[in-house]
C-alpha cells in the first residue's frame, strides 16, 4: 500500500450473518489494533469468520509441513485444503489449470484446495499461508470467490486482485506475527462463553500410538493425516476428513451422526477420484461453457441421475458429443483402484460401520482419538481390511 498504514481498532460491517442483524462490527478488546488491513473491497461478517478460521488453518499447515498452504472456506468450514506439492497432469486437468503451465507452490496449494470439492468452493473465501504471488492471483482471478486473506501480496498480484469484481473483491492482509490472547470469548443469547484457545500442536508425535495389526504408516500418509487433523481443527463438528497426496479430498462437516460425516466426506472423496476416470476426462464440452457449468455437468455425469438428463436431451447444451452412460459397474470398478487414502476424525469412531464406509473409498490410514467403548470393534474392522489406525488421544471439536 502507498502511504502510511491506517490503524484500526474496529471495523463497521454492513450487517451480521443476515441483513436484518444490525448493527455489526468487529473490534478488539481493550482497544487493541486489529491485526488486519483491508486492501480492497468490503468484507462481511461471514467473510471475516471464514478468513480468521482459514488463516489459522493454513498457518498451522505451513508450520507442520514446511510447505505453502491454502484453504477454501465456505460458511465457516473448509471445502478444501492443500499444500504446495506439484500437480500431476491429471489433477491439473480436473482443476482447470492445465493451461497455466508450471504453477508456483502456493498456486498449486490453492489449486488443490479449490479442486477438492469445486461445487462447494463456488463463492469461497481463500486463505493463503504465504505472500500471494502472481500465479496464485491469476488463478484466483479466474474463479468465483468472495475474497482472500494472506500475510502479504506481490505488487502485481495485488493489482490483479484489486481489479476483480470491478474493484469490489475483498483483499485482506493479516499480520503474520499476530498472536491472540490465550482466552477466547463469544456471546450467545446474551450469555458470555469463555475458554482457552485450542493451541494444541498437531504433529507426527500424535500418530505414534498405532493400535492395529498393520503398524507402518509411510511418510506421505503421515503428512496426509496431519493435513486431515489440522483441517478438522477448523471444521464445524462432527467432522471427518479424507486426504491424499497433500490435500483434503473429502470433508464432512457439521453432521449430528459421525457415520453420516463419514458417508458425506466419502462421497466427496469418491467424486474427486471419479473426476479422474477416463470417461470423465474424455468429455467434450461446448465452446465457451463456464467453469461452474462444467463442474455442475461433471457432478451430474458421475451421479445416478444422469440417465434422466440423457432422456430430456439437456446434454446438447453442454457437450459437443453425447457422452456414453458412466454405469454403476464402471464407476465401482474405477473406485476400486483408489487406495492409500488417509482419514482423520475429530472424535472417536463409535462403531465399525465408519471403517466399512471408509474402506470403500480406499482408506488405508486412520487417525482418531480413540476412547469408545467399542474401540475393539473398530480395531477389528481395521484389521479385517489391513488398515493402520493411530489413536491420537485428542479430540478436535470446533464450534
Q: How confident is the model at residue 30 (pLDDT cuts 50, 70, 90)?
A: confident
Query: 111 and 128: one domain?
Result: yes
Domain boundary residue among 179, 202, 221? 179
Quote the mean pLDDT of the chain.
94
Q: What angle do CA 346, 350, 352 make, to 5 degrees?
A: 110
Handedness of CA 104, 270, 49, 144 (dihedral sign): positive
Query: 248 and 307: one domain?
Result: no
Q: Tell me which of 34-48, 193-207, 297-311 is least confident.
A: 297-311
Nine cell digits for residue 230: 489440522
Query: 206 and 321: one domain?
Result: no
Peptide bond into 238 cis (omega under 30): yes
pLDDT in tens, 224-256: 999 999 999 999 999 999 999 999 999 999 999
Query: 71 and 143: one domain?
Result: yes
| Catalytic hit among 238, 268, 271, 364 | 238
Query: 40 and 93: one domain?
Result: yes
Confidence at residue 260, expressed as pLDDT on a 0 to 100 scale:
95
What is the three-class DSSP state of 359?
helix
The length of the chain, given as a count of residues: 399
Mean pLDDT (whole number) for 348-369: 97
Mean pLDDT (whole number) for 24-44: 91
Residue 363 lies in a domain: yes
Nine cell digits for residue 381: 474392522
Residue 222 lies in a domain: yes
Residue 4 lies in a domain: no
pLDDT at residue 4 above 60?
no
Q: 174: closest CA among 231, 121, 131?
A: 131
Query: 47 and 88: one domain?
Result: yes
Annotated catalytic, 20?
Answer: no
Query: 226 and 251: one domain?
Result: yes
CATH number of the domain where residue 370 is located: 3.40.140.20
Annotated catalytic, 359?
Answer: no
pTM of the model: 0.95
**Radius of gyration (Cα) for the chain, nearest Å?**
22
Query: 234 and 172: one domain?
Result: no
- What is the C-alpha to C-alpha distance for residues 322 and 335, in angstroms, rounded to an integer? 24
What is the three-class DSSP state of 234?
coil
Mean pLDDT (whole number) for 311-326: 82
Mean pLDDT (whole number) for 338-346: 97
Residue 62 belongs to domain spanning: 10-179
| Catalytic hit among 2, 215, 328, 399 | 399
Nine cell digits for residue 299: 457432478
pLDDT at residue 123 above 70?
yes
pLDDT at residue 341 above 50?
yes
Query: 39 and 116: one domain?
Result: yes
Residue 296 lies in a domain: yes
Annotated catalytic, 238?
Answer: yes
Residue 221 lies in a domain: yes
| Catalytic hit among 47, 53, 62, 74 | 74
Residue 56 lies in a domain: yes
Element (H or E) spanning 149, and its range? strand 145-150
Residue 2 lies in a domain: no
Confidence at residue 77, expressed as pLDDT on a 0 to 100 scale:
96
Domain boundary residue among 115, 146, 179? 179
Q: 228: closest CA among 170, 269, 168, 281?
A: 269
Query: 100 and 226: one domain?
Result: no
Mean pLDDT (whole number) for 267-288: 96
Q: What residues contact 68, with CB distance under 8 A and at least 6 apart? A: 62, 83, 84, 105, 106, 109, 128, 129, 130
Confidence at residue 3, expressed as pLDDT on a 0 to 100 scale:
36
pLDDT in tens, 154-178: 999 999 999 999 999 999 999 999 9
Annotated catalytic, 399?
Answer: yes
Distances (CA, A) of 105 to 82, 168, 272: 10, 27, 21
Residue 237 lies in a domain: yes
Confidence at residue 108, expressed as pLDDT on a 0 to 100 scale:
98
Domain boundary residue among 325, 345, 362? 325
Task: Select, from the ranges 1-5, 53-57, 310-314, the one with the highest average predicted confidence (pLDDT).
Answer: 53-57
pLDDT at residue 1 above 50?
no
The number of folded domains in the chain is: 3
Q: In this structure, are residues 258 and 354 in contact, taking their beta carbons and an 8 Å threshold?
A: yes
Amino acid at each position: 500500500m502507498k502511504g502510511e498504514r491506517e490503524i484500526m481498532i474496529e471495523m463497521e460491517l454492513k450487517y451480521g450473518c443476515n441483513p436484518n442483524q444490525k448493527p455489526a462490527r468487529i473490534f478488539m478488546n481493550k482497544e487493541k489494533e486489529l491485526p488486519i488491513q483491508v486492501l480492497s473491497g468490503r468484507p462481511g461478517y461471514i467473510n471475516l469468520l471464514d478468513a480468521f478460521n482459514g488463516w489459522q488453518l493454513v498457518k498451522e499447515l505451513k508450520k507442520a509441513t514446511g510447505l505453502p498452504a491454502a484453504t477454501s472456506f465456505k460458511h465457516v468450514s473448509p471445502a478444501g485444503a492443500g499444500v504446495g506439492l506439484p500437480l500431476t497432469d491429471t489433477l491439473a486437468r480436473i482443476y482447470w489449470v492445465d493451461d497455466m503451465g508450471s504453477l508456483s507452490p502456493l498456486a498449486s496449494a490453492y489449486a488443490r484446495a479449490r479442486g477438492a470439492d469445486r461445487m462447494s468452493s463456488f463463492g469461497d473465501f481463500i486463505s493463503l499461508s504465504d505472500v500471494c504471488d502472481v500465479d496464485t492471483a491469476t488463478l484466483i482471478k479466474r474463479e468465483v470467490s468472495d475474497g482472500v486473506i494472506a500475510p502479504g501480496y506481490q505488487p502485481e498480484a495485488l493489482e490483479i486482485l484489486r481489479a476483480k469484481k470491478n474493484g469490489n473483491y475483498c483483499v485482506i492482509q493479516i499480520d503474520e506475527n499476530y498472536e491472540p490472547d490465550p482466552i477466547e470469548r463469544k456471546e450467545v443469547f446474551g450469555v458470555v462463553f469463555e475458554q482457552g484457545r485450542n493451541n494444541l500442536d498437531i504433529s507426527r508425535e500424535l500418530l505414534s500410538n498405532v493400535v492395529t495389526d498393520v503398524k507402518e504408516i509411510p511418510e506421505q500418509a503421515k503428512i496426509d493425516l496431519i493435513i486431515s487433523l489440522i483441517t478438522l481443527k477448523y471444521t464445524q463438528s462432527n467432522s471427518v476428513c479424507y486426504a491424499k497426496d497433500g490435500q483434503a479430498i473429502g470433508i464432512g462437516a457439521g453432521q449430528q451422526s459421525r457415520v453420516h460425516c463419514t458417508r458425506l466426506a466419502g462421497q466427496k472423496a469418491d467424486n474427486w477420484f471419479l473426476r479422474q476416470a477416463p470417461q470423465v476426462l474424455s468429455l467434450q464440452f461446448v465452446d465457451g461453457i463456464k467453469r461452474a457449468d462444467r463442474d455442475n455437468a461433471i457432478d451430474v455425469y458421475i451421479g445416478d441421475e444422469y440417465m434422466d438428463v440423457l432422456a430430456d436431451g439437456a446434454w446438447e447444451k453442454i457437450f459437443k458429443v453425447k457422452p456414453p452412460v458412466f454405469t454403476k459397474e464402471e464407476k465401482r470398478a474405477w473406485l476400486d483402484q483408489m487406495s492409500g487414502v488417509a482419514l482423520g476424525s475429530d472424535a472417536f469412531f463409535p462403531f465399525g460401520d465408519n471403517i466399512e464406509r471408509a474402506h470403500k473409498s480406499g482408506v488405508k490410514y486412520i487417525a482418531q482419538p480413540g476412547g469408545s467403548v467399542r474401540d475393539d470393534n473398530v480395531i477389528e474392522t481395521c484389521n479385517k481390511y489391513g488398515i493402520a489406525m493411530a489413536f491420537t488421544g485428542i479430540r478436535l471439536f470446533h464450534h
